[in-house]
Amino acid sequence: MSVKVYDATAERDGKFWVIHVPEVARYTQARNLSEVEAMTRSLISSMLDVDAGSFDVRVDVYLTDSVRTRLDRAAHLREVAAKSNSEAALEARRAAAEMAAQGMTLRDIGQVLGVSHQRAAQLVNS
């Protein structure tokens, strides 16, 4: 048996989050975002006379287009950074292996890379 899911929207208005639940055609409010789900459940529960734990709630937080654009850009930059970090690690491993092939000691490789000789050994052997 599937659990009923109620959709709600939360939008900041001054000091409060205004929460709208279209399926019960009512609004409620919360002081902060962490209270939104509980307030939404309380509203639905009281309007439909059902237990607050008998359904799920899905809340869409309204954000302005400029905020969404910034969040999308931040996510993109995190992806780029993760890829760059992965590529940098690969190049460090390749450099360590090349230095080892040229006869450098693990201590020397570690000093060049700014890591311990134990970490240099891991890089050389990976």
Q: What confidence tens digit (pLDDT) does each residue in 70-125 have?
A: 999 999 999 999 999 999 999 999 999 999 999 999 999 999 999 999 999 999 99
**Structural domain count of the chain:** 2
Share of the chain above pLDDT 70, in %: 100
Q: What is the pTM of this model?
A: 0.67
User: What per-residue confidence (pLDDT) applies to 53?
Assistant: 92
Examine the domain organization and report whether 10 and 54 are in the same domain. yes
Which domain, by its residues, includes 82?
Answer: 66-124
Q: Which among 28, 47, 62 is the end of a domain?
A: 62
* Cα 79 from Cα 16, distance rounded (Å): 33
C-alpha distances out from residue 64 to 50, 53, 55, 67, 74, Å? 34, 31, 29, 5, 15
CATH number reported for the structural domain that contains residue 45 in this entry: 3.30.160.250
